[in-house]
A and B are shown apart, each in its own frame.
Chain A
Amino acid sequence: MKILIADDNHTDRLILSKVLENLNHEVVQAKDGSDAIEQFKKHAPALVLLDVLMPGYDGYEVAEIIKTDSSRAWFPIIFLTSLTEASDLAKCITAGGDDFVSKPINKIIIKAKIDAFERIINLYDTVAEQRERIQYHHEHLVQEQEAAKRIFNNIAHRGCLASDNINYHLSPMSIFNGDLMLAAELPMGGMRLFLADFTGHGLPAAIGAMPASEIFYGMTTKGFSIPDMMVEMNKRLYSVLPRGIFCCVIVIDIDSIDEALTIWNAGAPNSFLIDTKSKQLTPIPSSHLPLGIQSPEKFKVACQSFEFTKHHKVIAVTDGIIEAEDIHGNMFGEEKMVDCIKANVTSDNICGALLAEVNLFCGKTDQSDDLSLLEVAFPAISSDDILQSSEMELTESGTSDSELSLKLRGKSLGNFDPIPLFMQTILSCNELAPHRARIFTVLSELYNNALDHGVLGLDSAMKNSSEGFANYYAKRIQGLNDLDVGFVKVSVDHHPTANGGRLIFSIADSGEGFDVQKIVKEGVKDYSGRGLPLLLKLCDTVEYFDSGTRVKAIYNWDHHDIPE
């Protein structure tokens, strides 16, 4: 060990040096206070022996100066003194010394003290080394988390959450709290929102976010329905999530053409549908176990549908808000949440009001890290805007010259949604990418007309009131369940033309048909249910045959005429 001895007395210094050298220490000598400070800086000794009385800086002053050198790891100072007054000895410690030995020097005592301090120095070194290692690992971990966060944020991106009709709160590190919020525009107009809460914290909770996001964005843009998407998501999460980790979700479709909201809550707290006119709140409770628990064979999704217009809103939350605690450990609870929503029902930002209320309740600000809150109003975008698309690829490819038909019968009508299949096939022709929204709208309107009004015989006039709306959807689900006979046949014929192509949609159903002449004569008002005005606007021709049980729509497209 390197030891600095500062003593103005030559003889004392020589003897002490020899004693220490005999104990195999390396000795640096200083002949007074200033020399001691200089030698200390130069040699960085592990231990310092300081004479109290020295000319120039005395021992106390030297101790104070060298102890403030923060660049040094801890080192002990032992004072050498022939003073015997208690107050003089105490001063050795207050000046920054760690111990003192009396002069004349006794080599046994000196050895004992130095051995004792050597053990302490080793302990300090070990602690410092471990702290350095911990710090290194900590920094490494933080870096990894940051990198992981960037990767996660790229995959689980926020989609169209920034839209004007949405207010939300989500912690920047939410992915590691297991919360996930996604939003995407639906190909037919309107949007789909997704709020998920994986159990647990940290990386295990974040794992499921990757497949969930991929499935969400992938299947939503292809036009898959909520049940189809959730079946797929459950299947994937069931296979990848470790035991004990599962995922509560709320998924919402807002159909801006039909002014309808479809929602499915699996394991999350009540969501609320708000009528800002009547100030009524409709709770939408969980109707299913969370994802990742049930095997794909047992998994069934039944959504609820509601009327959703410009004076409606929907609020979805994770359990963070319900379980937020005040300083006494009391939970915020649903009742307070409902009261707060009611008090702010006409506010533009109910989400912000709720958040402020929770923070007030908790009496601290860090609570909001665990909260995820989503507030959605009717999308401000008109159907014309939705039909815009910026994607464009001008290479002749894929299914530009093709025909695909599919006939669905009986139970299959309720079990299988053919729209994504057709869309995927049609869009294999890359030039049609800008037309995706229009084609989707035409195809789904035609198909749903055939199924709802044709096969199931439902009257669209029912949808004109809120209760009728719910009733309509209940009857539709019932009808599909009871279906044994009946069919819908869909055929899409795609021909290339000089500057683009022609899509011919032919849909036939087993229903009773309707009075085409009457409908066309009476105009659009009484027949809004069949979406005829929209179809006429999008297609070049729409013709009905066989008493309205068969429809043929022609959609011409042109390379140079990109839909606006």
Chain B
Amino acid sequence: MNNGLDQDLLSELVEIMGGDMQMLINAYINDTREKLVTMNQLQVSTQQEDIHRLAHSLKGSSRNVGLVDFADYCEEIEKKAREGELTEEFFDLPKFDRLFESAASELAKQYL
């Protein structure tokens, strides 16, 4: 089953976090939503550097909580933006939201 989550990593994370797992998931979802709002406001033509940094940050935190598909997409964006080769075409914001929201609702279902 591919729901965009790394279930092995998540089991390990539960082991680490114990009773704080809910708090972690909440913090992650809130942080990420805020960052996605910021992302929506950035211009591909002029703000590739900012996009790069934000994508890097999203990739890091998302991988830590097992959102592998979303993290992979962030990494692609990060790489292109770092080289300054990101195009409007590739910078697919609806895809960003879709990948995140489906994985996030699955996370919420499992841990909240």
The residues of A with any CB-CB pair to B shorter than 8 Å are 8-12, 14-15, 18-19, 22, 53, 82, 103-105, 107
Complex Cα spacing A179 to B56, Å: 77
A18 close to B53 (CB less than 8 A)? no
Docked CA distance A104–B10 (Å): 13
In chain B, residues 18-75, which have Cβ atoms closer than 8 Å to a Cβ of chain A?
18, 20, 23-24, 27-28, 31, 53, 56-57, 59-61, 63-65
Q: Are B27 and A10 in contact (CB under 8 A)?
A: yes
Complex alpha-carbon distance, A544 and B64, angstroms: 124
A-B pair count, CB < 8 Å, reads 49
List 17 A-B pairs, Cβ < 8 Å: A9-B61, A10-B31, A11-B24, A11-B27, A11-B61, A11-B64, A14-B20, A15-B17, A15-B24, A15-B64, A18-B17, A18-B18, A18-B24, A19-B16, A53-B53, A53-B56, A103-B60
Q: Are A12 and B24 in contact (CB under 8 A)?
A: no
Q: Which residue of A8, A14, A19, A104 is within 8 Å of B57 (Cβ)?
A: A8
Is B13's CB within 8 Å of the partner chain A? Answer: yes
Instruction: Let me know if B16 and A11 touch, CB within 8 A.
Output: no
Given contacts A10-B27, A11-B31, A14-B24, contact A104 B16 (CB under 8 A): no
Asked whether, in the complex, the Cβ of B27 is within 8 Å of the Cβ of A9, the reply is no
Interface residues of B in 58-107 (CB under 8 A from A): 59-61, 63-65
Residues on A with beta carbons closer than 8 Å to the beta carbon of B16: 15, 18-19, 22, 107
User: Chain B residues in contact with chain A, CB under 8 A?
Assistant: 13, 16-18, 20, 23-24, 27-28, 31, 53, 56-57, 59-61, 63-65
Is B17 a contact partner of A12 (Cβ separation < 8 A)?
no
Q: Taking the nearest CB of chain A, how far is it from the CB of B25, in angstroms? A: 9
What residues of chain A lie closer than 8 Å to B59, measured between beta carbons?
82
List the B side residues contacting A10 at CB < 8 Å: 27-28, 31, 61
CA distance A82 to B75 in the complex (A): 11
Residues of A contacting B13 in the complex (Cβ-Cβ under 8 angstroms): 15
Is B64 a contact of A12 with CB atoms below 8 Å?
yes
Asked if A11 and B28 sit within 8 Å, CB to CB, the answer is yes
Nearest-CB distance from A97 to chain B (Å)?
19
| Interface-centre pick from A8, A14, A53, A105 (highest chain B CB count, 10 A) | A14
- Say yes or no: B20 contacts A104, CB within 8 Å: no
Asked whether, in the complex, the Cβ of A9 is within 8 Å of the Cβ of B17, the reply is no
Of A11, A12, A15, A104, the most chain B CB neighbours within 10 A belong to A11
Report the separation of the CA atoms of residues A11 and B17 in the bound assembly, to the nearest whole angstrom: 12
Knowing A10-B31, A14-B27 are in contact, say whether A104-B17 is a contact too (CB < 8 A). Answer: no
Query: What separation, in Å, do the CA atoms of A8 and B58 have in the docked complex?
Result: 11
Min CB distance B94 to A, Å, is 24
Min CB distance A469 to B, Å, is: 104
A340 to B49, CA, bound (A): 83
**A9 to B17 Cα, complex, angstroms:** 17
In the complex, the chain A residue whose C-beta lies closest to that of B24 is A14
Contact of B63 among A8, A18, A104 (CB under 8 A): A104
CB neighbours (8 Å) of A19 from chain B are 16
A104 to B57 CA separation, bound complex (whole angstroms) = 12
How many angstroms from the CA of A82 to the CA of B58 in the assembled complex? Answer: 12
**A236–B53 alpha-carbon span in the complex (Å):** 88
Q: Which residues of B contact A22 (CB under 8 A)?
A: 16
The 8 Å CB contact of A104, one of B23, B24, B60, is B60
Q: A12-B61, A15-B13 are in contact. List 10 more A-B contacts (CB 8 A).
A: A9-B31, A9-B60, A9-B61, A11-B61, A12-B60, A14-B17, A18-B16, A103-B64, A105-B64, A107-B16
Distance in angstroms between the alpha carbons of A15 and B17 in the assembled complex: 7
A82: chain B residues at CB < 8 Å are 56, 59-60
Q: How far is the CB of A106 from chain B (nearest CB, A)?
A: 10
CB distance from A87 to the nearest CB of B (A): 15
Chain A, Cβ-Cβ closest to B61: A11
Q: Are B64 and A104 in contact (CB under 8 A)?
A: yes
Is the beta-carbon distance between A9 and B57 smaller than 8 angstroms?
Answer: yes
Which residue on chain B has the smallest CB distance to residue A106?
B12
Q: Write out the residue numbers on chain B whose beta carbons fall within 8 Å of the beta carbon of A18.
A: 16-18, 20, 24
Q: Which residues of B are found within 8 Å of A53, using beta-carbon distances?
A: 53, 56-57
Task: Please give me the 5 A-B residue pairs with the lowest Cβ-Cβ distance, nearest first.
Answer: A11-B61, A11-B28, A9-B61, A104-B63, A10-B31
Complex interface: chain A residues within 8 A of B64 (CB): 11-12, 15, 103-105
Whole-angstrom CA separation of A19 from B16 in the bound complex: 6
B28 to chain A: which residues have CB within 8 Å? Answer: 10-11
Distance A105 CA – B20 CA, assembled complex (angstroms) = 18
CA distance A8 to B35 in the complex (A): 13
Query: Which A residues are in CB contact (< 8 Å) with B65?
Result: 11
Q: How many whole Å from A346's CB to the nearest CB in chain B?
A: 89
CB proximity of B60 to chain A, nearest CB, Å: 6
Complex alpha-carbon distance, A107 and B31, angstroms: 23
Residue of B nearest to A11 (CB): B61
Q: How far is the CB of B2 from chain A (nearest CB, A)?
A: 20
Report the minimal beta-carbon distance from B49 to chain A, rounded to whole angstroms. Answer: 12
A11: chain B residues at CB < 8 Å are 24, 27-28, 31, 61, 64-65
Q: Which residues of A contact B60 (CB under 8 A)?
A: 9, 12, 82, 103-104
Give Cα A10–Cα B17 distance, bound, in whole angstroms.
14
Chain A residues with CB under 8 Å of B63's CB are 104
**CA–CA, A107 to B17, complex, Å?**
12
Q: Considering the chains assembled together, what is the distance between the CA atoms of A107 and B13 in angstroms?
A: 10
Please, which residues of chain B bring their CB within 8 A of the CB of A9? 31, 57, 60-61
Nearest A residue to B9 via CB reads A104
A519 to B63, CA, bound (A): 127
User: Closest residue to A51 on the B side, CB-wise?
Assistant: B60
Complex Cα distance A22/B15, Å?
10
